Amino acid sequence: MRRPPASSDVTLPSEEVPAPRRGARFTLEGVLGVVRDYLGLGRRRRAEAVTDPASLRRFIETRASYVAQTSLYGYLRTRAGLRYPELFDDDPFVASVNIAKWQMWLACLSDVSVYAGGMVARASDAPPQAVGQLMRDVVASILADTGVPDNAGPDYKATADRVLERVASCDWAAVADGEAAFTESPPALVRWAPIVDELKEADEPIVVNSVRFRWKEVRDDLRRSLHAEAVLLSAGAKV
């Protein structure tokens, strides 16, 4: 495996920890703790109702972080096998994992934000401008609160700007209720995972499909929990 930028301080998010923490030190126990949090200690956790911009933001943050980190660490663990825990004693590898972690998080944030905005548009009579303003505000607030993490690498800011541009230019009425919005996260895992290119090329079809599969439960959760008109009314939009 290649020694790239890793996850030196990664805390997987629960409902209370929206995005990967800027300066946390990665531990396997931390990752497993987030997974247990999200799954509810072995049982599927009931999704919070999404009724206002704050709960929409929590949904987007937690799902982006969960898919990003479980996809990345799951892939690394599969490839490393029994050597997986030892890899995180290697500082250059940890540095690479951190860069991959943040790039994957931004890709997941982009995808789930577009999907969520499309669902708000489909489930309400609000004009596209109102949906666009809501989603721009939500995503901008997430990125502003996250800032530019010290361990995120030199490309973080440019990638974050592209997330904002994608949301700002999105045709919300054209976003389908399915996989179509999830275009950034599958290739991001292949690009940024700190694994030698030859192995990633061989793994690509499986890796891409594994990320797509993780989003299925997220879509199901949002369909069940989203109250689109309540979110828009709470944001001050006319519906």
Place of tokens 């982006």: 64
Neighbouring CB atoms inside 10 A of 47's CB total 20
Q: Is the pLDDT higher at 63 or at 237?
A: 63
SS3 227: coil
pLDDT in tens, 160-208: 999 999 999 999 999 999 999 999 999 999 999 999 999 999 999 999 9
Longest dimension (CA), the chain: 56
Q: State residue 81's pLDDT score.
A: 82
Closest to 114 in 3D by CA, of 77, 169, 68: 169
Average pLDDT score over residue span 113-120: 98
Cα 220 to Cα 96, 111, 112, 183, 225, distances in angstroms: 32, 15, 12, 18, 9
* CA dihedral sign of residues 215, 62, 160, 79: negative
Residue 41 has pLDDT above 50, yes or no: no
Q: How far apart are CA 222 and CA 181, in angstroms?
A: 14
Query: 91: which residues sit within 8 A by CB, 6+ positions away?
Result: 8
Q: State residue 43's pLDDT score.
A: 47
CA angle 175, 46, 170 (to 5 degrees): 15
- DSSP bridge pairs for 97: 5
Query: 101: which residues sit within 8 A by CB, 6+ positions away?
Result: 6, 7, 10, 20, 68, 69, 72
Q: How far apart are CA 64 and CA 62, in angstroms?
A: 6
Q: State residue 187's pLDDT score.
A: 97
Q: State residue 47's pLDDT score.
A: 73
**Among the ranges given (91-95, 121-125, 215-219), the one the predictor scored with the smallest mean pLDDT:** 91-95
Query: 130: which residues sit within 8 A by CB, 6+ positions away?
Result: 232, 235, 237, 238, 239
Single pTM value for the model? 0.82
The one-letter code for the residue type at 203 is D
Residue 104 has pLDDT above 90, yes or no: yes
Average pLDDT score over residue span 119-126: 94
Average of per-residue pLDDT values in the chain: 84
Helices 91-122 & 53-80 angle (0-180, nearest 10):
140
